[in-house]
Amino acid sequence: MIATYFAEIWQFLVFIARVSAVIVVLSGAILWFTDVNSKRGKSLVFSGILLAIVVQYFVFYPPTFALG
């Protein structure tokens, strides 16, 4: 029963991480291509891509929530 709750929480956290990766990349692209703050925009784009890669790794290889 507890393992199912952990799995549901895990799915929600993965969803939040995917949404935040998209938001970080979009905001970085806006900063980069409008030349408001090009250096900060590039770093946001690359860190958003890195976040998306890490999240995808945890989607492919999720932790096991086996108790006992």
| Long-range Cβ pairs for the range 59-66 (8 Å, 24+) | 59/14, 62/10, 63/10, 65/3, 65/4, 65/6, 65/7, 65/10, 66/3
Q: Is residue 20 part of a domain?
A: yes
pLDDT digits (tens, 9 = 90+) for 11-67: 999 999 999 999 999 999 999 999 898 999 999 999 999 999 999 999 998 877 655
Nearest-5° Cα angle at 32, 57 to 24: 35
Residue 55, domain member (yes or no)? yes
Residue 18 within a domain: yes
6 part of a folded domain: yes
Q: State the pLDDT at residue 5.
A: 87
The number of domains in the chain is: 1
Give pLDDT, residue 32: 94
Question: Is residue 22 in some structural domain?
Answer: yes
Q: Is 68 within a domain?
A: no
Residue 19 lies in a domain: yes
* Structural domain contains residue 37: yes
Higher-scoring residue by pLDDT: 9, 64: 9
Range of the domain at 43: 2-60
The 10s digit of each residue's pLDDT in 21-32 is 999 999 999 999
